[in-house]
Chain A
Amino acid sequence: MNERKRVFKLNDYLLKTYKLTKYYSEEKRISFFSLGPGKSLVRAVDNINLFVHRNEVLGLVGESGCGKSTLGKTIIRLEEPTSGKIFFEDQDITNLSQERLKSHRKKMQIIFQDPASSLNPRKTVFEIISQPLKVHGMVSNKSDTSDRVADLLKKVGLEKSHMERYPHQFSGGQKQRICIARAIALEPIFLVADEVVSALDVSIQAQILNLLVILKNDLNLSILFISHDLSVVRQISDRVAVMYLGKIVEVAPSENLFSSPLHPYTQALMSAIPVPDVEIGWNPIILQGDTPSPSQRPQGCFFHPRCSKMIDICDKEDISLNAVSQGHFVACHLYSGRSTLKKIIQAQRTWL
């Protein structure tokens, strides 16, 4: 527990993004009335400043379509950023050539949601896990490779005898273990875990989470843990960032965020989860309407059309993250300007 509470030194980060942006252009349909193709921009990731400390799990939550997966992929340059910078271990990796990026790829790995579709059904587990080792020249001969793969399988709780089997011979949880083994094969220091337990049953989720925690401590990993499930994120994250329509609306140490969420969106998101407890009532803050499309975002604060606490300025001026307390940042007009502290205390009180 003490370890979790340790204060991170300033600049003790492994990864940092500066105004990271990823836009996609979407071809507009040619209709009878507007001739000629137009283009609209989907702002999937917009001006994001984020950092991940060494040996830290940063949770990234948000609803579908908010850009969390795109952010995860852009950070490790599986998607090319439109603008902005990415620093990894103090080096700017935004414009590194693919050739030079290769040595960095070893250090950053990703695990996806659906283990069945991220494993090649025609290859054995041995082939799947040994491939990255061979690509990066980390093994010299066959017996060496076999030892390494066996060792990796053991680390993720599988057996050596599983090596010659094919993915379809495993259950969902076991397949996800294989994906994890492949991801840690190159001894990375940074892992993007994109909805890694979402496809699994509750009783299996716990096994994978336990494994991730053990690996994180053993291998000194930093993890960007992307999920829509706040219950899972709370358990595993040191800090949590909440994303809405391509922007981060709140970042805070996990315990802070869950005990006193400040942004009205974070509050609505948390209140919407039905708690499996009959002694606690459920009074969700019902958000009006749907999330707008990221190509037609509202003026001002993007959340204002659905926000119950909207004030005059919200539909006029955009707002970026402001620090409200140690490590707690929120992008909301309610907490900027005069008498902020009073408002924060008030918000915390009403939440409890």
Chain B
Amino acid sequence: MSDPLLSVKNLQVFFHLAQGTLKAIDGVSLDVKKGQIVGLVGESGGGKSMIGLSILRLVPEGGKIASGKIIFEGKNLLNLSEDEIRIIRGSYISMILQDPLTSLNPAFRIGPQMIDVLRLHKGYDKKEAELIAIEMLHNIGIPDPKKNIRKFPHQLSGGMRQRVVIAIAFSCSPKLIIADEPTTALDVTIQAQILQLLKNLSTEYQTSVLFITHDLGIVANLCDSVAVIYAGEIVETAQTSELFLNPKHPYTKALFQSILRHDKKQEHFYSIEGVMGSHIDWPDKCKFYPRCSEKLDGCEKTGSVEFVSYSPDHLVRCLKYE
């Protein structure tokens, strides 16, 4: 099999706080193959967004990538100079964030915001860039693009704004898109529109997508493979159908049990005991065991738990399977 497009290896991102060291990302490994949509799921505070930011070396102030490798098309992004990584951002890897209102500049019309990106990364002149921007808006289903390109972000609806952000992300035909909860702020009917659009564009442009979400429904219907993250660690990764039909890690199982479905009436609502809490200065051991319903005697004592391959492509990080 060919090399993956993006390969994150043993990534660690630490925040040195007054209270101690917070391992926001603790040994995350992840592969995204060409043309694939990979889901990254977990609850809030689990470090999902931090992985997305780390890939582009955009870790917020106070945080540091402590170790690991991020191999993109054979190059380790962590070894690139600041100038080199700027070329990667936008042209090769671009990002779609949750709230389109904060990703777009409210003081500029959407036209210039799209055109600037094309001019910077692709070197088009203004006229060319404008034509491409209009075509792009047309492709993503914005009616009357010639008129709408002259609007300010606040004059568009939430769904339209997110379409513009997606257009900007795809405009330089990047190899990889990191989509961080791109539909969470939208209504379900609009979400359905946007998800279909993303799926179509990713097929059309052969773009890989790292889709960060908390919604397992989206994962089931959009992603080819999934990684489940808990407190900065990936606890399980597999092909989507394999993970849904055969979840192994107690956290994954608990997550599945706690989702409510509109197509089924449930008599009991299952919830995971306790809260994730913060893991400042957490020793090297499973982070989920205090909430785990299947914990073994060894969980508290054993050091860090390594990934076990349950079957090819299905990795679990749990003492039960060691």
Contacts and interface: CB of A to CB of B under 8 A. Distances in A.
A63 B261 contact: no
Nearest to A293: B157
B131 interface: no
A279 B43 CA distance: 24
A210 interface: yes
Contact of A202 (B220, B255, B262): B255
A275 B192 contact: no
B189 A206 contact: no
Contact of A203 (B191, B196, B272): B272
Contact of A275 (B159, B256, B263, B265): B263
B245 interface: yes
Contacts of A230: 188, 262
B44 interface: yes
B84 to A, nearest CB: 38
Interface string B21-40: 00000000000000000000
A33 B1 CA distance: 65
A207 B192 contact: no
Interface in B209-224: 214-222
Contact of A276 (B143, B259, B265): B259
Interface string A14-46: 000000000000000000000000000000000
B61 interface: no
Give the 8 A-B CB pairs with smallest separation, nearest first.
A274-B217, A206-B269, A206-B271, A276-B216, A63-B187, A203-B272, A284-B192, A272-B192
11 contacts: A63-B187, A233-B262, A234-B262, A258-B263, A269-B188, A274-B221, A275-B221, A276-B219, A276-B244, A276-B256, A278-B241
B188 A63 contact: yes
A63 B187 CA distance: 6
Interface string B267-298: 11111100100000000000000000000000
Contact of A171 (B217, B220, B269, B275): B275
A280 B244 CA distance: 12
A56 to B, nearest CB: 16
Nearest to A282: B221
Interface of A: 1, 63-64, 171, 173, 201-207, 209-210, 228, 230-235, 254-255, 258, 268-280, 282, 284, 286-287, 289-291
B105 interface: no
Contacts of B261: 231, 275-277
Contacts of B157: 290-291
B193 A274 contact: no
Given A202-B255, A278-B241, A269 B217 contact: no
Scoring A202, A255, A273 by chain B CB atoms within 10 A of each residue's CB, the highest score goes to: A202
A217 to B, nearest CB: 14
Contacts of B267: 1
Nearest to B185: A64
A287 B256 CA distance: 29
A232 to B, nearest CB: 6
A203 B260 contact: no
B191 A258 contact: no
Given A268-B189, A276-B220, 7 more contacts: A205-B260, A231-B259, A258-B262, A274-B192, A274-B220, A290-B157, A291-B187
A287 B189 contact: yes
A241 to B, nearest CB: 16
A203 B187 contact: no
B220 A206 contact: no
B41 to A, nearest CB: 10
Given A209-B269, A278-B220, A228 B260 contact: no
B190 interface: yes
Nearest to B197: A286
Given A273-B188, A286-B193, A203 B254 contact: yes
Contacts of A277: 220, 244, 261
A173 to B, nearest CB: 7
Contacts of B216: 276
